[in-house]
């Protein structure tokens, strides 16, 4: 880390510790698409300087996309310290340039730094997720060992920064969950900068200009800003603070405000006697200092500070309007509540009747899906009643086995001990995606995406509810469970028939088209969405009448609403899985002016999945073992090696000419080619692919119909689908 930035950060911490007694350490979360590193200030360590050493720090999303993870070990006499942080490798650490820093392991090298002579200094750097919390000293067996390709983690593309979460996840005005619940149950996001000069005057409103947003270290902490004027020196300081403790000797008082309204804390006009040069005593009246403080409990609320000077000002216009509106709305709200309660009781009664009459007994969760989606085609409102389980009691859920593990969470099969399953057991089977408290932001993004009822579709994983499991410090997403697992696992086990290819391809394209669509199935406007991490392991397989699938893992999804600025989109970075990244994503050249670009990158990824499905269909002739697109060279190819294949060589997965012996497959190949075109604008839309599938790709007489939007040159390309690696 740049020494300046780190020391500024530490100073901020020291200040907070000093005023609040807090010993916590809150890392900045300033950018996403960036590496996540372990982040500890220099502290005493038991690491001996040999073998390997594992330690626990806070996870932090690095400030800049270039940053790598660094750990520094020092020994000065008996004093051993360890420090971990993000660092721009173009800058020296301890006066030393890092050199090779692209490793996934943090291998310590002894360095001669700028410390006191006699101090032993070891530095390591690496660039995979939190790789700097496990360091390897040169005498370890692990040192210099070639990396195990299975062990090299997928390049890390963390989920959106808290700063952008609402914008990216689409703050469509729907309910935001408060960061601090009634009992101060969730950690706040606050601006967190050291004391710095400000142009704010103690009048009107003002911005803190602090770029660091931090997740508060402790539950119940609130956001605080302190404005101070000492002579001509005007400063502002932003931080998290436990309201039970004083700030600068003064208690905060009421602190549950949504806005940061400044109150004067101390105005001491100090009379001081000073000796003048001729020894005469003069009495000066010093305007010693002026301090204002505000606290609040909304995400980053201490960024926007408001100076109010008298009681009259305090009820600002917004609040007055709110008050009048609330008063006039009370009768209406009462009525609405009555209707909701009656409707709820009616539904509960109806459901009980259905259970009793046996209509719902003996159903598994896929049937609950059917039940919940019964009204899918009705024009329901877009707020999802079950987005968060607001009951104080957690759902009666018992986790069974682990069925999947992703970058941010683990997925478990589980028993929801309500109702009865198909086999008469007293539970429903569900899937639980479990996020640790460090992955709160990923959980929140996925929950917010899922909370839009307009996302509901047969080919999108059915979301049931989200829960904060306070006792276990976990965040859960409860969804339908699909026993056949993900598409990649399924293709590895099974060869497909032509009908399977048609139903899987069709349902996948329908799912993607639904995400991208600006209308629900019943024609109501909806916010389109880009998935941004489509791949066969993010698609679940379902077998009812046909073999179909549904899309899952919306942790990186982006709501494409018109309110997103180009800057916000640019900040969303290069996300996804390198193997499935479109050429323009690999070279970070997405056209941010047009939200269609994000859909076009999804279509590219979808084409690779279509290729995977086709490669395992017996209609192509001899079916080989399952291989992912671009082969098994590395379990998780990195962006650089994908750039070589996809950009430099313009390579695409091979489609041997023998596949074309089947006329339907030839047409599927043509569609795949049109979806992975190097030019994003030239790609088909997901809707168009879905239509082609619904028309069956069969050797129909009206083949021309399938081609009506393809010019004659493209037709030739489609008929000759032996494209191998060239395009
Ligand atoms: N893996 C990830 N999500 C799953 C789900 N909902 N059902 C089964 N396996 C899964």
Confidence at 148, pLDDT banded by 50, 70, 90: low
Q: Single out the residue of 426, 402, 421 nearest to residue 412, CA to CA.
A: 402
Which residue's structure tokens are 């002894």?
110
Return the best residue to mutate from 411, 413, 489, 550 for the ligand 1 pocket (most ligand atoms within 8 A of CB).
Answer: 411
Going by DSSP bridges, is the β-strand pair 304-307/260-275 parallel, antiparallel, or unpaired?
Answer: parallel
714 with 629, same domain: the answer is yes
Confidence at 720, pLDDT banded by 50, 70, 90: very low
Distance CA 296, CA 304 (A): 10
- In the prediction, which pLDDT does 392 show? 61
Instruction: Report if residue 644 sits inside a domain.
Output: yes
Q: What is the CATH number of the domain that holds 223?
A: 2.10.60.10
- Residue 687 reports pLDDT greater than 70: yes
Report which ligand 1 atom has the smallest distance to the Cα of 483: 8
Considering the chain, what percentage of its residues have pLDDT values greater than 90? 40
Q: Give 132's DSSP letter.
A: G
Q: Going by C-beta distance under 8 Å and a sequence separation of 6 or more, which residues neighbour residue 249?
A: none
Distance CA 354, CA 371 (A): 11
Confidence at 315, pLDDT banded by 50, 70, 90: very low
Q: What is the CATH number of the domain that holds 416?
A: 3.30.200.20
Return the best residue to mutate from 402, 404, 461, 489 for the ligand 1 pocket (most ligand atoms within 8 A of CB).
Answer: 404
Enclosing domain of residue 302:
187-310
The pLDDT mean for the chain works out to: 77
Q: How is residue 674 written in tokens?
A: 């049109």
**Which alpha helices (H) appear in 616-685, and where do they start and end?**
639-642, 663-675
Q: What is the pLDDT of residues 53-101, one digit of tens each?
A: 988 777 777 777 788 889 999 998 889 999 988 888 888 888 888 887 7
Listed range (114-118, 464-468, 704-708) with the worst mean pLDDT: 704-708
Distance CA 493, CA 482 (A): 16
Nearest CA to ligand 1 atom 5: 481
| Cut 0.75: pTM above it | no
Instruction: Report if residue 350 sits inside a domain.
Output: no
C-alpha count within 13 angstroms, C-beta hemisphere, residue 586:
23
- Residue 243 reports pLDDT greater than 60: yes
Report which ligand 1 atom has the smallest distance to the Cα of 479: 6
Instruction: Report if residue 357 sits inside a domain.
Output: no
Confidence at 193, pLDDT banded by 50, 70, 90: confident
Tell which of 128, 156, 182 closes a domain. 182
225 with 79, same domain: the answer is no
Listed range (13-27, 162-176, 274-288, 612-626) with the worst mean pLDDT: 162-176
Q: How is residue 494 written in tokens?
A: 């099974």
Distance CA 160, CA 441 (A): 7
Q: Cα of 198 to ligand 1 centre, how many Å?
A: 51
Tell which of 455, 481, 507 closes a domain. 481
CB 188 within 8 A of CB 297: yes
Q: How is residue 79 written in tokens?
A: 């004093």
- Residue 364 reports pLDDT greater than 80: no
Q: What is the pLDDT of residues 173-190, one digit of tens each?
A: 222 223 333 333 567 788
Q: What is the pLDDT of residues 503-513, one digit of tens each?
A: 999 999 999 99
Listed range (158-162, 390-394, 525-529, 678-682) with the worst mean pLDDT: 158-162
Q: What is the CATH number of the domain that holds 714?
A: 1.10.510.10
Distance CA 531, CA 455 (A): 12
Distance CA 569, CA 586 (A): 16
Q: Cα of 555 to ligand 1 centre, how many Å?
A: 14
Return the best residue to mutate from 365, 462, 481, 533 for the ligand 1 pocket (most ligand atoms within 8 A of CB).
Answer: 481
Q: Cα of 499 to ligand 1 centre, how many Å?
A: 24
555 with 578, same domain: the answer is yes
Distance CA 669, CA 671 (A): 5
Selecting among 364, 454, 458, 533, the annotated active-site residue is: 533
Q: How is residue 471 written in tokens?
A: 């006792």
559 with 675, same domain: the answer is yes
- In the prediction, which pLDDT does 317 show? 52
16 with 161, same domain: the answer is yes
- In the prediction, which pLDDT does 275 show? 39
266 with 216, same domain: the answer is yes
- In the prediction, which pLDDT does 372 show? 38
Distance CA 64, CA 244 (A): 35
Q: What is the DSSP string of 572-629?
A: T-S-S-GGG--HHHHTT---TT-THHHHHHHHHHHHHHHHHHHHTBGGGSSPPPP--T
- Cα 460 from chain centroid? 19
Instruction: Report if residue 341 sits inside a domain.
Output: no
- Residue 313 reports pLDDT greater than 60: no
- The Cα-based distances of 240 to 12, 84, 115, 184, 216 in angstroms read 11, 22, 33, 13, 6
114 with 252, same domain: the answer is no
Instruction: Report if residue 559 sits inside a domain.
Output: yes
Q: How is residue 57 written in tokens?
A: 């720090």
Beta bridge partners of 125: 70
- The Cα-based distances of 596 to 229, 546, 600, 602, 682 in angstroms read 50, 31, 6, 10, 12
CB 262 within 8 A of CB 292: yes
Using CB atoms within 10 A of its CB, is residue 610 exposed (0-12), middle (13-18) or buried (19+)? buried
CB 577 within 8 A of CB 154: yes
Q: Give 203's DSSP letter.
A: S
Mean pLDDT of 696-718: 50
141 with 200, same domain: the answer is no
Q: What is the pLDDT of residues 554-601, one digit of tens each?
A: 999 999 987 777 777 776 667 899 999 999 999 999 988 889 999 999
177 with 214, same domain: the answer is no
Instruction: Report if residue 328 sits inside a domain.
Output: no
Strand, coil or helix: 255: coil
Mean pLDDT of 11-22: 33
Instruction: Report if residue 437 sits inside a domain.
Output: yes
Instruction: Report if residue 346 sits inside a domain.
Output: no
CB 500 within 8 A of CB 545: no
Q: Single out the residue of 101, 82, 102 nearest to residue 92, CA to CA.
A: 101
Nearest CA to ligand 1 atom 3: 411
**Most distant pair of Cα atoms in the chain: their distance:** 112
Ligand 1, pocket residues at CB < 6 Å: 403-404, 411, 431, 461, 479, 481-482, 485-486, 540, 552
Q: How is residue 277 written in tokens?
A: 């040069």
Distance CA 82, CA 43 (A): 6
462 with 569, same domain: the answer is no
| Category of 248 on φ-ψ map: left (φ > 0), alpha (ψ -120 to 50) or beta | left
- Tell me how many domains the chain contains: 4
CB 83 within 8 A of CB 122: no
Distance CA 447, CA 266 (A): 44
Q: Does 533 participate in catalysis according to the annotation?
A: yes
Taking the alpha carbons at both ends of the chain, their separation in whole angstroms is 43
């Amino acid at each position: 880390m740049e020494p300046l930035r780190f020391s500024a950060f530490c100073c901020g911490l020291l200040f907070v510790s000093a005023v609040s007694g807090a010993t916590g350490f809150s890392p900045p979360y300033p950018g996403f698409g960036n590496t996540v590193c372990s982040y500890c200030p220099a502290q005493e360590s038991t690491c001996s300087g040999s073998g390997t050493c594992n330690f626990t720090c806070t996870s932090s999303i690095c400030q800049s996309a270039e940053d790598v993870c660094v750990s520094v070990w020092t020994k000065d006499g008996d004093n051993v310290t360890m420090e971990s942080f993000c660092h721009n490798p173009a800058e020296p650490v301890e006066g030393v340039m890092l050199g090779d820093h692209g490793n996934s392991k943090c291998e310590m090298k002894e360095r001669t730094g700028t410390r006191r002579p006699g101090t032993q200094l070891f530095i390591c750097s690496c660039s995979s997720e939190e790789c700097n919390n496990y360091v390897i000293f040169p005498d370890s067996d692990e040192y210099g060992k070639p990396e195990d390709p299975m062990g090299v983690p997928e390049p890390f593309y963390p989920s959106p920064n808290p700063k952008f979460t609402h914008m990216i996840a689409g703050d469509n005005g729907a309910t935001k969950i408060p960061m601090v619940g009634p009992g101060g149950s969730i950690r706040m996001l606050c601006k967190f900068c050291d004391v710095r000069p400000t142009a704010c005057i103690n009048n009107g409103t003002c911005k803190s200009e602090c770029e660091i947003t931090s997740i508060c270290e402790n539950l119940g902490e609130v956001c605080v800003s302190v404005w101070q004027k000492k002579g001509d020196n005007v400063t502002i300081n932003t931080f998290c603070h436990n309201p039970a403790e004083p700030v600068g000797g003064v208690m905060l008082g009421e602190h549950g405000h949504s806005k940061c309204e400044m109150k004067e804390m101390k105005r001491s006009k100090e009379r001081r006697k000073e000796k003048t040069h001729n020894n005469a005593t003069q009495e000066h009246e010093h305007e010693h200092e002026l301090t204002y403080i505000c606290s609040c409990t909304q995400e980053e609320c201490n960024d926007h500070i408001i100076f109010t000077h008298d009681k009259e000002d305090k009820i600002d216009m917004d609040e007055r309007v709110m008050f009048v509106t609330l008063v006039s709305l009370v009768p209406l709200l009462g009525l609405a509540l009555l209707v909701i309660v009656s409707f709820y009781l009616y539904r509960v009664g109806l459901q009980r009747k259905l259970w009793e009459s046996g209509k719902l007994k003996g159903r598994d969760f896929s049937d609950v899906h059917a039940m919940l989606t019964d009204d899918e085609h009705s024009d329901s409102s877009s707020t999802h009643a079950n987005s968060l389980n607001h009951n104080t009691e957690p759902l009666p859920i018992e986790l069974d086995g682990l069925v999947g593990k992703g970058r941010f969470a683990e997925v478990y099969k589980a028993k929801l001990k309500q109702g009865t399953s198909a086999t008469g057991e007293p539970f429903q089977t569900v899937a639980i995606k479990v996020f640790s408290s460090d992955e709160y932001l990923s959980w929140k993004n996925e929950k917010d995406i899922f909370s839009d009822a307009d996302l509901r579709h047969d080919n999108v994983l059915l979301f049931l509810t989200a829960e904060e499991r306070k006792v276990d410090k976990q965040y859960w997403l409860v969804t339908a469970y699909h026993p056949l697992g993900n598409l990649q696992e399924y293709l590895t086990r099974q060869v497909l028939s032509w009908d399977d290819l048609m139903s899987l391809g069709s349902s996948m394209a329908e799912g993607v088209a639904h995400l991208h669509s600006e209308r629900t199935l019943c024609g109501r406007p909806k916010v389109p969405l880009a998935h941004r991490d489509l791949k066969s392991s993010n698609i679940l397989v379902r077998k009812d009448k046909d073999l179909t699938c549904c899309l899952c893992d919306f942790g990186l999804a982006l709501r494409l609403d018109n309110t997103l600025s180009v800057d916000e989109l640019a900040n969303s970075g290069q996300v996804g899985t390198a193997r499935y990244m479109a050429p323009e994503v690999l070279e970070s050249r997405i056209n941010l002016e047009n939200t269609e670009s994000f859909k076009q990158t999804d279509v590219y990824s979808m084409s690779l999945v279509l290729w995977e499905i086709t490669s395992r269909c017996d209609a192509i002739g001899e079916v080989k073992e399952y291989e992912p697109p671009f082969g098994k060279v590395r379990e998780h190819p990195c962006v650089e090696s994908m750039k070589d294949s996809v950009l430099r060589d313009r390579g695409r997965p091979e489609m041997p000419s023998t596949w074309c012996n089947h006329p339907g497959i030839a047409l599927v190949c043509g569609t795949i080619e049109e979806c992975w075109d190097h030019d994003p604008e030239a790609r088909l839309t997901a809707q168009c692919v879905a239509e082609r599938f619904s028309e069956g790709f069969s050797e129909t007489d009206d083949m021309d119909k399938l081609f009506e939007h393809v010019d004659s040159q493209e037709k030739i390309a489609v008929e000759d689908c032996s494209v191998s690696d060239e395009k």
